[in-house]
Amino acid sequence: MTTKNQAEEKTNSLNFIESIIENDIKNNKNEKRVHTRFPPEPNGYLHIGHAKSICLNFGLAKRFGGKCNLRFDDTNPTKEEVEYVDSIMEDVRWLGFEWDGDVHYASDYFDQLYLWAEKMILDGKAYVDDQTSEQIASQKGTPTVPGKESPFRNRTPKENLELFRKMRAGEYKDGEKILRAKIDMASSNMHMRDPIMYRIIHKEHHRTGNKWCIYPMYDFTHGQSDYIEGITHSVCTLEFEVHRPLYNWYLDQLIDTEYRPQQIEFARLNLSYTVMSKRKLLELVQNKYVSGWDDPRMPTVSGMRRRGYTPEAIRDFADRIGVAKRDNVIDVSLLEFCVREDLNKKADRLMAVIDPIKLVIENYPEGKMEMVSVENNPEDESRGSREMPFGKEIFIERSDFMEDAPNKFFRLTIGKEVRLKGAYIIKAERVIKDAEGKITEIQCTYDPESRSGSGSEASKRKVKATIHWVEASQAVPIVVRQYDRLFNHEDPGGQEDDFKNYLNKESLKTLTHCLAEPAIKNLKKQDRVQFQRQGYFCVDLDSSNETIIFNRTVTLKDDWAKLSSKND
């Protein structure tokens, strides 16, 4: 019912970009074509904000029966690397999208772009400027004060062409000359004050090698690249809004077809308790605050993948947050909700004790061992069940026992009963402590008639709680990495002081004395499971045959934790 309504709502209510496209189709714009593109610069790893953009662009194409390109915006060889190209392609595919045709590169269009630059020179729309970047900046004015024209602004087309060709031929050093568009130094839009089209960079490019020593700027590249690829709707984030007049201006100078790509801007994603800027993420990596771009605490696609998030959950998240033009901060709990919802259906249950305490069942026969049957996923019967060994000595979670328990504590305490999931009902009789008073062992009795699924009266008895456990002799040691939010401030990047001051020092706890049931050995790297009553975990890449390492993807919702922390 709910899902049906949601599905209906989805088809009926459009976001503002979908409305524009629907309207364009109605008006036969571009022969009703819809062609989008995802245009990352290969200078860093993709993060959840890019995932929003990817879902948007590929989603738009899918919804309107169009196409979506992947295009690398690689116009600056000083920042870009193949490593990033590869990781971006992997991430896009992992998220579940396939681009139309081959991968595109802005650098594929360098020849055409160069020709267009010469055309603009010939048309008197562009000129070579000999000034330093400082001089040019000083003439630029401010948003409220108009700029001054360059002394080189009125060179003849012939002279400009000659100089530009020399720039290309490598006759000048970096920064010695640049090519500028001749627009309006008094424009209220700073981007229209004779923007730079080409600069000299003597650096090998990851695709074009040493063919070029001049490289086009973003503004002189993006719209034309869209045009060349037949893009109809060029979706980007809000900070490019002021670039739109320039985007259109270049196209006006260079083409006169009816077809024209249209730039549309939307608000980028902000997530609470993390940072999203490439610069800040890079800083975390370079200064080793995290283990790398794919550290499970990072909001990067590779980090989330390693953490155990699913592409389905991320796509669902992107759907739920919507698309609009106002600044937003999405509560990270929505992302966590999407992950739990997906994993609840998919992840098999397993028992693992993170902080074990020994429990001995006094009246259980010495040396006896039996197998009990446990369902793999109560949400999905088809996942079947498995056998778990049970015996006289087991381990349970230290937090599942309390000597002086408050009323609201439903778990094990002296004189009270709990059920061991899939096995028997036990009653705590006494504890053994060490010299410091720390409990080292809990001694219990069990009700032999209460075995799960035996059908006996005793097996149907209601007890306050059911807890997880592992049999001592066959327990498998595992390592668990408990991840928490990387920052302890909702908006670490928006504060006056350094965002690193808000790093959560407890964002990673590595626990090395955990124990799991034998079935844990069947898991492969990256497999996702639910550790009963605790959370979702996945097998980390660092695992070996000797040591299985688990990353905590997300905890289960925990009303008891909420309750007990409130009483503190």
For RNA, the binding residue among 154, 156, 210, 328 (CB under 7 A) is 328
Task: Kindly state whether residue 26 participates in binding RNA, applying the rule CB under 7 A.
Answer: no
Question: How many residues of this chain interact with RNA, rule: CB under 7 A?
Answer: 95
Task: Kindly state whether residue 411 participates in binding RNA, applying the rule CB under 7 A.
Answer: yes
Q: How far is 517 from 420, CA to CA, in rounded Å? A: 14
Residue 432: which residues within 8 A CB-CB, separation 6 or more?
439, 440, 441, 442, 443
CB of 212 to RNA, least distance (A): 12
The smaller minimum CB distance to RNA, of residues 249 and 295, is found at 249
The smaller minimum CB distance to RNA, of residues 218 and 295, is found at 218
Beta bridge partners of 468: none
Residue 165: which residues within 8 A CB-CB, separation 6 or more?
none
For RNA, the binding residue among 48, 422, 507, 517 (CB under 7 A) is 422
CB of 424 to RNA, least distance (A): 8
Q: At what angle do helices 244-254 and 110-122 cross, to 10 degrees?
A: 80
| Interacting positions 175-204 with RNA (CB under 7 A) | 175, 178, 188-191, 196, 199-201
The smaller minimum CB distance to RNA, of residues 30 and 53, is found at 53
CB 92 within 8 A of CB 52: no
Q: Which two tokens stand for residue 107?
A: 């650098």
Q: Which of 547, 567, 551, 549 is nearest to 559 (CA)?
A: 567
Q: Tell me, yes or no, if 79 is annotated catalytic.
A: no
**Three-state DSSP class for residue 412:** strand
Q: x/- contact string, 87-126, with RNA (CB under 7 A)? A: ----------------------------------------
> On the CB side of 191, how many CA atoms lie within 13 Å of its CA?
16
CB of 265 to RNA, least distance (A): 7
| E strand intervals along 57-148 | 67-72, 104-105, 126-129
Task: Kindly state whether residue 568 participates in binding RNA, applying the rule CB under 7 A.
Answer: no
Q: Which two tokens stand for residue 118?
A: 């010469």
Per the listing, tokens 């695992």 go with: 543
| E strand intervals along 94-212 | 104-105, 126-129, 178-181, 196-200
| Interacting positions 437-466 with RNA (CB under 7 A) | 451-453, 459, 462, 465-466
What backbone torsions phi and psi does residue 564 show, to the nearest 5 degrees? -70, -30
Give, in order, the Cα–Cα distances in Å from 449 to each of 1, 88, 458, 471. Answer: 43, 58, 6, 19
The smaller minimum CB distance to RNA, of residues 306 and 411, is found at 411
Task: Kindly state whether residue 2 participates in binding RNA, applying the rule CB under 7 A.
Answer: yes
| Interacting positions 256-295 with RNA (CB under 7 A) | 267
Task: Kindly state whether residue 559 participates in binding RNA, applying the rule CB under 7 A.
Answer: yes
Task: Kindly state whether residue 383 participates in binding RNA, applying the rule CB under 7 A.
Answer: no
Q: Tell me, yes or no, if 268 is annotated catalytic.
A: yes
Give, in order, the Cα–Cα distances in Å from 3 to each of 163, 209, 318. Answer: 64, 52, 17
The smaller minimum CB distance to RNA, of residues 19 and 156, is found at 19
For RNA, the binding residue among 258, 327, 497, 568 (CB under 7 A) is 327
Task: Kindly state whether residue 208 participates in binding RNA, applying the rule CB under 7 A.
Answer: no
CB 432 within 8 A of CB 458: no
CB of 327 to RNA, least distance (A): 5
For RNA, the binding residue among 421, 481, 485, 552 (CB under 7 A) is 421
CB of 562 to RNA, least distance (A): 5
Q: Tell me, yes or no, if 278 is annotated catalytic.
A: yes
Alpha-carbon dihedral angle through residues 547, 293, 309, 16, given to the nearest 10 degrees: 180
Task: Kindly state whether residue 512 participates in binding RNA, applying the rule CB under 7 A.
Answer: no
Task: Kindly state whether residue 378 participates in binding RNA, applying the rule CB under 7 A.
Answer: yes
Give the DSSP letter of residue 442.
E
Beta bridge partners of 260: none
Task: Kindly state whether residue 41 participates in binding RNA, applying the rule CB under 7 A.
Answer: yes
CB of 422 to RNA, least distance (A): 5
For the chain, the straight-line distance linking the first and the last C-alpha, in angstroms and rounded, comes to 41
The smaller minimum CB distance to RNA, of residues 58 and 317, is found at 317
Task: Kindly state whether residue 377 participates in binding RNA, applying the rule CB under 7 A.
Answer: yes
Amino acid at 418: V
The smaller minimum CB distance to RNA, of residues 196 and 472, is found at 196
The smaller minimum CB distance to RNA, of residues 367 and 455, is found at 455
Q: Which of 497, 496, 551 is nearest to 526 (CA)?
A: 551
Q: C-alpha angle 334/336/337, rounded to 5°?
A: 65
How many other C-beta atoms lie within 10 A of the C-beta of residue 139?
A: 17
Catalytic residue among 18, 22, 41, 283: 41
- Contact segment (CB under 7 A) with RNA among 134-142, 382-390, 500-508, 539-547 equals 134-142
| Interacting positions 50-79 with RNA (CB under 7 A) | 73, 75-76, 78-79
Per the listing, tokens 């000129």 go with: 127
**Three-state DSSP class for residue 472:** coil
Task: Kindly state whether residue 330 participates in binding RNA, applying the rule CB under 7 A.
Answer: yes
Q: Which two tokens stand for residue 432?
A: 């053994």
For RNA, the binding residue among 20, 89, 103, 334 (CB under 7 A) is 334
Catalytic residue among 32, 62, 148, 268: 268
- Contact segment (CB under 7 A) with RNA among 160-168, 239-247, 251-259, 500-508 equals 239-247
Per the listing, tokens 């909702």 go with: 490
Residue 235: which residues within 8 A CB-CB, separation 6 or more?
17, 36, 53, 56, 57, 60, 263, 264, 265, 266
CB of 544 to RNA, least distance (A): 28
For RNA, the binding residue among 110, 127, 227, 240 (CB under 7 A) is 240
Q: Which of 36, 88, 40 is nearest to 62 (CA)?
A: 36
CB of 264 to RNA, least distance (A): 11
Task: Kindly state whether residue 344 participates in binding RNA, applying the rule CB under 7 A.
Answer: yes
- Contact segment (CB under 7 A) with RNA among 2-10, 357-365, 432-440, 520-528 equals 2-10
CB of 446 to RNA, least distance (A): 12
Task: Kindly state whether residue 10 participates in binding RNA, applying the rule CB under 7 A.
Answer: no
The smaller minimum CB distance to RNA, of residues 61 and 236, is found at 236
Task: Supply the residues annotated as catalytic.
Answer: 41, 268, 278
